[in-house]
Structure 1
Amino acid sequence: MVLNNIEKLIEKYENGETSIAEEQELKRYFSESEVPEHLEGYKSLFTYFSVKQQETFNKALPLKKAPAMPYKWLTAVAATVVLLLGFYLGNRTENQDLGTINDPELAFMEVSKSLEMISTKFNQGASTVGYLDEVNKGASTLNYLNEMENATQIIFKKEKK
């Protein structure tokens, strides 16, 4: 009866379905001196696990200290300095003449010229888009053709029956 139970536990063990208590029972069984011949392979397996479970590692591991890299923080500082100089020198201009006009009449004339130029360019662009109306007309004509095709398909399907 015990042998039958052990064989069932081995089958469960091989399928990965045993509990910890069942595995302890298998270890106890195979730690005995007498084991049937067909289970000898399992004896060496479970005794190996028992021995390795009690084994500990006592050797000291030498840990190498990583060399200090003083240049790591130095590169971060240098990058920050370069960025700050870039922002400072990039925004600094010698003559900050933004084209300000002090005479109101002259300023009005300049704005009028600029708006007229923008209006002319906008009208040129709008005139080139006029062909889209023709495309829309052609698309609506295609819709009529699709309706005619659907009607002819209905007629021909009824005639075939």
Structure 2
Amino acid sequence: MRTAALSLIAICLSAPVLADQPGGDMTGFLEETPVSWRIDAERSEYHFESEGIGSLRILAEPQEVPSGIGSVRLMVMVADGTTSLLELRLEDEDGNPALGLSSEAGGQAMLDIDHDNDGSLHFTGVIEAGLMAYPMSGRTAGERQMLVLDVDGGRITATGH
């Protein structure tokens, strides 16, 4: 009983520290299937020309995904407070492209982005995208799926060049 109480206290005390760690979570649905990824802060980066113009490249590792799906990669452009989803790709377990942003269905990134004094970038919001199967992915040609993700606690510390 005492061990359980000490464990609970340790978890409660570490929660604020974990919330301030780089990374973050992306959770939602691929069609009707629940999905989640953890943002890989060490392999994600951002670059800003000025306070309001820049880009984010995000790589996230799978936590809960359907069979045949692995990492997610995306690129978001920022211009004067407006975010645009330029690229989104779901890979298979071997890192090969499986599903990508469909030019017909398109996508959007509605992210709130804040620059922190320590040089990190914080972001939260929603990403929605119509995805299409890549050729040679082993999926049905032209297969389309809708992806909706909530981004929570996104934090990147690496700046790109």
Higher relative strand content? 2
- TM-score, normalised with respect to structure 1: 0.16
Of structures 1 and 2, the one scoring higher in RCO (CA 8 A, sep 6+) is 2
Higher relative helix content? 1
